[in-house]
Amino acid sequence: MIGKAAVFSILTVLLASPASAQDMDLSKIKCSEFIAAPKDQIAVILTWLEAFYTKEGDPPILYADKTAKDAKNLSAYCNDHRDDDIIKAADAVMPVK
């Protein structure tokens, strides 16, 4: 099971990665591109999705277990629906509860 160590690794990659001035339009990223992307780009996208799919007013906490579960579900969805965009995938597996 991916846990706190995985989230820590993701955050470490994010913080250690050199800054780049590259915009990402998540509505145009296909599942096939997402699952083939470098780990640092996947980490950026997943972190953004975790924040976006959090209820307004909830504490700004990145929960390791939830992030790992969402990453696994998103990966499974994208492997089965490679032509869907990542937002459609996230809507399917990361609904705001």
For range 7-17, the mean pLDDT:
50
Contact predicate 16/77, CB 8 Å = no
The pLDDT of residue 3 is 53
Does the pTM surpass 0.75? The reply is: no
The pLDDT of residue 17 is 53
Chain-centroid distance, C-alpha 1 = 17
The pLDDT of residue 33 is 96
Report the C-alpha gap between 54 and 41 in whole angstroms: 20
Domains of the chain, first to last: 4-17+26-93 (1.10.890)
Report the C-alpha gap between 51 and 36 in whole angstroms: 22
Give the confidence band of 89 by pLDDT, cuts at 50, 70, 90: very high
Give pLDDT tens digits for 30-88: 999 999 999 999 999 999 999 999 998 999 899 999 999 999 999 999 999 999 999 99
The pLDDT of residue 24 is 83
Report the C-alpha gap between 41 and 31 in whole angstroms: 13
Contact predicate 49/70, CB 8 Å = yes
Q: In sequence order, what are the residues at sequence separation of 6 or more whose Cβ sits closer than 8 angstroms to the Cβ of residue 41?
A: 24
